Structure formats: structure tokens, C-alpha cells
Structure 1
Amino acid sequence: MMGFFSLFTLAGLTLVLGVFALVLMVLLRSQRRQLANERTMASARLSERESLVRAQATLAERERIYSDLHDDIGARLLGMIHSAESPEQADRARAVLQDLRDVVSRSRGTPGSLSDTLGEIRGETSQRLAAAGISLSWEINDDLPDPELDTARALHLHRIVREAISNVIRHARASHVRVRMKVIGGKLCLDLTDDGGGKDPAPTSKGRGLDNMRDRAAELEGDIDWKPGTEGGTKVLLTMPLGDSPT
């Protein structure tokens, strides 16, 4: 009887030890999985930090390059503006300088509203026309909405007007430019008219500047056209939607 009891006790102890070993094994496996997950998460966090550091370094280097370009090339363009032999030459250098500033601004990704963009366009246009001895009338309807414009759309709009002003200064022999803006059916309608009597760009005309204007209008999901102006020169008509940004 005693032997049987001892045998039973030994079997029970063996069972307990077996259960204990099984539980211990499960706990150890769970601990290993937890440690592996922690290592994976730590590695991911380290990778994210390294990626962030690399991205910040790339951005800083890009900013340095753009600043160097602006300081160096910008200074040379300013020199060309001041030493130009004609208003047309000065305006060409001024337009290139504005293009350079656009590149720097776009790289920083600072979108704004429609009114912000139009304010910048008006300031630049007024300065360029005044330097060429041409007056400007700027007319905007009071009910013009003010949606947000991403950097790309603002740049396209800015470049279209800039090219139109370049054509006026270089070809139109104008003394006055009128810019009007209103919204019809959810679309911005911009017309830019000069009173010149020089070369009038037409929709069928060939030229890099006009092609660029067409391409930019297409990027805005808009339309652009050229017609005889009511003030004697050429009228540029641009329409573009003011809804969501084009995809």
C-alpha cells in the first residue's frame, strides 16, 4: 500500500512538473515573441528617425542650393536689369528673375488663397508695366470668392499672366493695360486687354510663350483664347475652375 501511495505521489509530482514545464515553455515563447516585437518596433523607430534625419538633411541642402542660386544668379539678373539698354531688355531679365523666385517659393511649398496669388500677380504686373511706361487698371468684382490654391495652380496662373504681360511689353507698343476678373458659373474669368497697335498674338500663332500659356491653362483644367481688344490691342481670355485642384 505504501509502495502504491509512493508511486501515486511520484506520478502526481511528475504530472505537476510536466504542467509546470509546459507553462514555463509557453511563458518563455511568449517572452521571446514580445522581445522580438520590441526589437522590430525599435528597429522601425530607428529607421524612421534615420529617414527623418536624411529627409531633413536633403531639405537643408536643397534650401542651401536655392539660396545660392537666388543670391548669385539673382544678383546678376539685377545687374542686367539696371544696365539694360532698353525697357524690353530690362523686362526680360526681370521676368527671368521672377521665374527664379517662383522656383524658390514653390520648393518651400507655401500655398495660399486666390486673393494672395492675385495680390502677388498685381504687385509684379504693376512694377513691370510701370518700368516700361505703361499704366495699369486692375478690376476685381467685390463678390470674387477666395478659395485656397495649391502651389502648382498658383504658379500656373502667375506664369500665364506674366507671359501675357511680356507680350504686351515686347510686342504691343501699348500705353495702357486693363485686367478684369469675375466669377461665372464657378469659374474664374480673367481678361487682360492692352491698347497697343503692335504685333497681336493670335490663337494660331506659333511661339514657345503662347504654347506655354496653353499648356498651363490645360493644367488648370481651363481654357485660354486671344481676341481683338476693346481698347484697340489684344485681349487674353482665361477661364479656370475654382473647385478642387486638378488631379
Structure 2
Amino acid sequence: MGLAIGILRFRLFEVEYWWFKSWLWLLGGCVVVLVDMLLIGLLNTPQLYALGLSVVLTGFLYFPLRQWLLGKLMPLENQTLQDFLARFSTSLAQADSPEAFEQGWQALLQARFAPQHLTLQAATLIQPQLEGNGLSLRVPALTTDFVYQLSGKQMASRLFSKADIKTVTALLDIAQMARNASDAREQAVREEREHLLHDLNATVGAKLRRLADDLLEAQHREATEEALQALDTTVQLSLQDDPFSLQAHLQAWQTETAHRTAAAAVQLDWQVADDLEQGELAPKQAVELTQFLREAVTNALKHAQPSRLIVRFAREAGSLQVSISNDGKIQPPETWQAGTGMGGMAARIRTLHGELHIQHLVQQGYVRLDAAIPLLGAA
């Protein structure tokens, strides 16, 4: 009768927890009565002492057994929010981007409720809510306009309850505060970086401009102009956080390289594979590749004095392949003395987690630089 009234009053998913607790309470009372009867009937213990002994024995045997049984049948319900906060805070502390926060939030929901199914749906939800009489739990994602659908708590062995709503609401508040604090910190760092880069461009750029105007020799003036151009490009690219179109950069690199080779009376053979039209570059990749290409072209025009320069871009196994060849005055690479140019190019490619190789194609009469860097989004 009590369970029937509970179903009508509290709905099924509320009765489940109280049903189990009620049977434990009933079992505890029966154990006390049974021990009391055994002491009186079998051991002829006086009634004055039998009740006290039965309570003592039950307390030492039944209650530890009850707690062990609760931990086995309902392990997550036994774990308080304070017990879970240590793991929760560790996961949030390791997140360094919105994507990492979202992945951490999803992993924590998986660990806390062990659902049979967890899916991400496009929807708007402010607070967690129950569905299907406790069969499912909908939880807002940290990213707006998305919701996590958790179905089958503890691998479909339990039902979600209002207590789970309170728990996940508290965890969601903490996760949102941590992400907001991270966003505020990143915004402060970004603003400080922009301020420093603008100051750098204003002070160093102005000095380079005055120096270029005062220099008499064309060679020195050209070197100063290149330094000023490198500074402007680095500042502009560093101030942008979104990915760049690879196609747009390829066109800009071609225009700049064509202008430099034409001024040096060198024929330019520019080759770009068709599958690079939809690629993207991270800001750091754009900065380092721009400087790498400039240094490679400068070394070829300055030291080799070629009649032809070949620049080729292709995609291979998720990497961007860059090859720069020239037919100038060539010495075997093993006899080269690596200076600032070669060291700088190698360092830039290493920064992008790529590889740089030099080949001496004797039969063709070319020296070729081959660089490979992982493209944005490649595994």
C-alpha cells in the first residue's frame, strides 16, 4: 500500500530510491527482532538483556553490511558532490581552450552518471531537466545552442532523479564559472599582446623607416625594407586568432616572390597542387611559413644567383609539402656552412613540428629545399 501511494504521489522515478531504502529499513527491523528471538529462545537470555544485546549485535553486523550493500548497488549515489569535486577541478584545470572545456564537461558527465547513451543535440536549454520518468537527463552544454542527452543511468540499471538535477546543476555552475574565468584571462592576455605588438610596430617600425630613408647604398636599403616588411607582416598575422585561407596566402606569396625574382631577372616557376584550394593555416603557421619562404628565396637569389627558381606546394598525408629549387652556382650541401639563414629556416620548421631536408640533384643541376608541416586539422 505504501509503494502504491508513493507511485501515485511521487511518480515512478522518485519511488525507486525510496523503495530500496524502505526495504533496508524493514530488513533492519526484522534483524533486530530475529536476533532478539534467538537470544531468548536458544540461549535462554533474560528479556531484560536480550533486547540490548540484539541491538548491539545488529549495530555491529547489520549497519556495516548495509553500507557495503549500498556502495555496491548504488555507488554513484553514495558519492557526494564533495567527493567528486577533486576529479572535477583537476579536469577543468587542465583545459586551455573552449574545445577542451567542452570535452572535459562531456567526460565528467560520462564519469558521474555512466549513461548507456550520451549524445550531443542542437537545442537551447537553460537548466537540466528529466525526461521519460527518469529514463533520460538533458544537460546544457558549455557551448550555447547544444544539449547533452543522457539515457540509461549506470548502464540502464538506474533511473535519473531530482537529486541528479541538483548535482548536475551545481557541477554546471562550477564549469561555467571556470570557463568564464578562463575566457576573461585569455581576453586580458590577448589585449596585452595586441598592445605590445602595436607599440613594437610603432617604435621599431618608425626607426626602421627612418633608417631606410637615411641609407645611401641600395643593398642596405633593400635589407632594411625587408626587415620592415617582415615586422609589419608578423604583427598583422599575430593579431588574428582565426584560421587563414591557404589559397589567399599562396596568392600573396606568389605575388611577393614574383616581384623579387623579376627584380633579380630570375625566371619563376610557381606550382600549386589543386587539392590545396580549401586548406587553412593557423596564425602561427602563416607567420612562420611567410618568413621561411622569404629567407629561402633570399638565400637562393643572394648566394646561388640562379636563372630559374622553382617553388612547389602540394599536400601529402595531411602535411603541406613546400619545395624550393634553383639552378644557380651550387656547392654540395655537405660543404655548406650553416649561417643565420639556414639556422632560422630550420628553427621555423621545427616550431611548426615539421621537417626540413636539403637535396643536391646533381644530374638536374639543382639544389632543393623540402619542408613538410602538418596542416590545420590533420591528425
* Aligned twin of 1:84: 217
What secondary structure does 1:158 align onto?
Answer: helix
- Conserved in 2, the CA contact under 8 Å of 1:74 and 1:97? yes
Deviates more, 1:51-60 or 1:229-238: 51-60
Match of 1:233 among 366, 371, 376: 366
Distance 1:231 1:60, change over 3 A: same
Aligned length: 196
TM-score by structure 2 length? 0.44
Cα RMSD after superposing both structures: 3.5
In the TM superposition, what are the counterparts of 1:81-120 in structure 2 within 5 Å?
A: 83-86=216-219, 89=220, 91-109=222-240, 111-120=243-252
Distance 1:156 1:196, change over 3 A: same
* Aligned twin of 1:244: 377
In the alignment, structure 1 residue 188 sits paired with structure 2 residue 347: no
- Conserved in 1, the CA contact under 8 Å of 2:194 and 2:239? no
What secondary structure does 1:104 align onto?
Answer: helix
2: CA distance, partners of 1:122 / 1:165? 11
- Conserved in 2, the CA contact under 8 Å of 1:113 and 1:149? yes
Q: Deviations over 1:186-244 (max 9, x none)?
A: 22211111110145655974222212211211122211111124752321111122143
Q: Deviations over 1:96-150 (max 9, x none)?
A: 1222112321342264121122222222222222222222111111222533212
TM-score by structure 1 length? 0.65
- In the alignment, residue 102 of structure 1 is paired with which amino acid? T
- In the alignment, residue 118 of structure 1 is paired with which amino acid? L
What secondary structure does 1:188 align onto?
Answer: strand
2: CA distance, partners of 1:112 / 1:124? 18
In the TM superposition, what are the counterparts of 1:170-209 in structure 2 within 5 Å?
A: 170-198=302-330, 201=333, 205-209=337-341
1: CA distance, partners of 2:376 / 2:194? 34
Q: Which runs of 5+ in 1 are unaligned?
A: 1-50
Q: Which runs of 5+ in 2 are unaligned?
A: 1-184
* Aligned twin of 2:349: 217
What secondary structure does 1:143 align onto?
Answer: helix
2: CA distance, partners of 1:80 / 1:231? 44
- Conserved in 2, the CA contact under 8 Å of 1:102 and 1:155? yes
What secondary structure does 2:276 align onto?
Answer: coil
- Conserved in 2, the CA contact under 8 Å of 1:200 and 1:233? no
2: CA distance, partners of 1:60 / 1:137? 37
Match of 1:144 among 276, 280, 287: 276
Say which structure, 1 or 2, has more relative contact order (CA 8 Å, 6+ apart): 1
